[in-house]
Amino acid sequence: MINLYSTQIESLSIHRIGNKSKSEGLFVSNDPYPLSDEITPLIKEFFFKPFREKEENYYRFDHETDLEFHTLFGIAQKVFENPGATHLLSEEIAKHLYDQSEHPHIKAGELYIAHLENVMIDNIKTDAIGIFKSELKQDFLQFRESGSNLEMLLEQGINLNKLDKGCLIVNHKPEEGYKILSVDSNRYDTKYWLENFLGVEIFEDDNFYTKKYLKFCQDFAKDVVLPAEDKKEEVLFMNRAVNHFAKNDAFNESAFVNEVLDNPDLIPEFKHYKTEQAPKYKIEDLTEFPISNKAVSTQRKKIKNLIQLDTNIQIKLDFINPESAEKFVEKGWDEEKQMYYYLVYFNKEQQ
């Protein structure tokens, strides 16, 4: 988990990256940008806000031969070894990005490269490199006095509420290719940013494993539990699965199966489903791992606890008190109406 609350920008370099295929050129600033007290809080919010709002999916640098041949990995090492050389090394980053900007869809824009201090990740304080790019310009009006009248001037600039692209290379786990976060508001050129420029792959840690295993469980519930039983049991299965993750620090598949699968007939189905589907989720050999509480909370929000009926009625089950659904909700079949029904017991309606 990353925390940027106390993070400070120690240096900032700004360059302009054109589209190489259109011969738009590369503009490299001679000196770092001198941040003022007025602009610093604005630029920090511009850079960091997308990472606070986005789900944490970590990446790491990857190279088919060896990380020593990875361009950005090598530059990052040099920055972390000598932060005072950040501006000089930022020129290498700008040139590397420019070399990847050859597709005609790639938009020109400003590139911001910052050395960051006081970044908290996995409860460790460290530094990081921030690489951000603004591409899309917006029209805005400026006004000036002209004699006894006001004139409108149409100008263009960037919207400080929307960062187009960005990444944080955190000085953590360098032997595995560092932990990296990335954001990209413009999905049309994701390959250019993630693959061509950053050269990263998913960082497989407890956060990754927790999310992947819960997504696997969610699909098992939909593909196996629902057809074998009903919507109520699908929801309750996922409720038990999430609660099992929430109350344990480490995952053990045998303990999970014994606690969560209350129908013994589903146990061989679960094992078969995992054998068939595990490669899709990258959990083939995954039977034990530390649980990420952050990932559990994130995935819980994505799981639906509604029974949606074709009679335009919804039944919402409580994930906090699942025993209520088991005790007070019954499903049956009405022969006269030739319809299923849910029977719900209660003492009184609540306000």
What share of the chain has pLDDT > 90, as a percent?
Answer: 55
- Among 44-53, 95-104, 155-164, 309-318, the range scoring the smallest mean pLDDT is 309-318
pLDDT at 209 over 90: yes
DSSP per-residue string spanning 86-128: HHHHHHHHHHHHHHHTTSTTPPPEEEEEEEEEEEEETTEEEEE
Q: pLDDT value at position 322?
A: 59
Q: Could you give the 3-state DSSP secondary structure of residue 79? A: helix
307 or 187: which leads in pLDDT = 307
R_g over Cα of the chain: 26
Residue 95 neighbours by CB under 8 Å, 6+ apart: 26, 28
Q: pLDDT value at position 37?
A: 92
Q: pLDDT value at position 324?
A: 65
Spatial separation of the C-alpha atoms in residues 263 and 216, rounded to whole Å: 18
Residue 91 neighbours by CB under 8 Å, 6+ apart: 13, 15, 28
Q: pLDDT value at position 320?
A: 60
Q: What global pTM score does this model have? A: 0.80
Residue 307 neighbours by CB under 8 Å, 6+ apart: 231, 232, 235, 314, 315, 316, 317, 342
pLDDT at 313 over 90: no
Q: pLDDT value at position 342?
A: 83
Q: 322 phi and psi, to 5 degrees?
A: -65, -20
As a whole number, mean pLDDT of residues 214-238 equals 88
Q: pLDDT value at position 190?
A: 67
Mean of per-residue pLDDT scores for the chain: 89
| pLDDT tens profile 109-133 | 999 999 999 999 988 999 999 999 9
301 or 5: which leads in pLDDT = 5
The pLDDT-based confidence of 323 (bands split at 50, 70, 90) is low
